[in-house]
């Protein structure tokens, strides 16, 4: 603010309030203080990821869905067409936008080496290669092909898996095929707790 602007402002501001306080100035009409923020935002339908009521969501992201806008979700509210929630959401669901945009999201594949006290960023290819190596070594050493009665059992007990119950069915089915084809028996889900 330069000297001249300040002077103008000071004078105008004070005069305006004085005159209006005296009831001498006609009122200027005002628009609503805040513009509606969703007017043309891209709307995507989804379902809440928390409990199993399965409420319908409307997610709003930046851009018009054009190829040059990176869609980032900035608002989520209930889907009024959804027959179960009819637009309503619980406080967890109502705050979902902060879950999606949590500062504690993971961004890159990382490894923590034995005895180390830090993460090291690695590429996906390195992650896949190293994990596959560890799995194969363990499986080749510990897969039980036959039990003591000679029955083919093909089970691998020295590696296990705790699976997600928030991923879609399709991911779940891929997980199941992945695990059983390797011989994993000890797969479980948080359904138990």
Residues 64 to 103 in contact with another protein, rule: CB under 8 A: 70-73, 75-78, 80-85, 87-100, 102-103
Q: Which of residues 145-174 bind another protein (CB under 8 A)?
A: 145, 147, 149, 151-174
Q: How far is the CB of 48 from another protein (least distance, A)?
A: 6
In the region spanning residues 5 to 64, those forming contacts with another protein, defined by CB under 8 A, are 5-7, 9-37, 39, 42, 44-56, 59, 61
Contacts of 139 (CB under 8 A, 6+ apart): 156, 159, 182, 183
Q: How far apart are CA 65 and CA 17, in angstroms?
A: 46
Residue 105 Cβ vs another protein, minimum distance, rounded to whole Å: 5
Using the 8-state DSSP alphabet, how is residue 164 labeled? -
Nearer to another protein, 66 or 91 (CB): 91
The sign of the torsion formed by the CA atoms of 8, 11, 14, 20 equals negative
CA distances to 57, 59, 78, 90, 192 from 44, rounded to whole Å, are: 8, 5, 11, 19, 32
Report the nearest approach of another protein to the CB of residue 150 (Å).
Answer: 9
* Number of residues forming the site for another protein (CB under 8 A): 157
How far is the C-alpha of 181 from the C-alpha of 178, rounded, in Å? 6
Shortest distance in whole angstroms from residue 65 CB to another protein: 10
Minimum distance of another protein from residue 63's CB (angstroms) = 10
**In the block, residue with structure tokens 């005159």:** 19
Q: CB of residue 38 vs another protein: minimum separation in angstroms?
A: 9
Among 40, 66, 68, 116, binds another protein (CB under 8 A): 116
CB 53 within 8 A of CB 84: yes
Q: Whole-angstrom Cα distance, residue 143 to residue 181?
A: 12
What DSSP character marks residue 101?
T
């Amino acid at each position: 603010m330069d000297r001249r602007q300040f002077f103008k402002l000071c004078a105008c501001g004070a005069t305006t309030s004085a005159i209006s306080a005296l009831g001498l100035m006609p009122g200027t009409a005002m628009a609503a203080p805040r513009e509606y923020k969703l007017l043309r935002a891209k709307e995507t339908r989804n379902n809440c990821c928390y409990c199993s009521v399965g409420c319908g969501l409307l997610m709003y992201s930046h851009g018009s869905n054009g190829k040059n806008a990176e869609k980032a979700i900035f608002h989520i509210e209930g889907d009024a067409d959804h027959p179960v929630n009819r637009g309503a959401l619980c406080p967890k669901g109502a705050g979902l936008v902060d879950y999606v945009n949590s500062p504690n999201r993971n961004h890159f594949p990382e490894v923590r080496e034995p005895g180390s006290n830090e993460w090291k960023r690695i590429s996906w290819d390195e992650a896949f290669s190293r994990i596959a190596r560890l799995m194969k070594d363990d499986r080749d050493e510990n897969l039980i092909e036959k039990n003591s009665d000679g029955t083919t059992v093909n089970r691998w007990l020295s590696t296990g898996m705790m699976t997600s119950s928030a991923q879609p069915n399709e991911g779940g089915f891929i997980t199941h095929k992945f695990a059983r084809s390797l011989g994993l028996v000890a797969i479980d889900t948080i359904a138990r707790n």
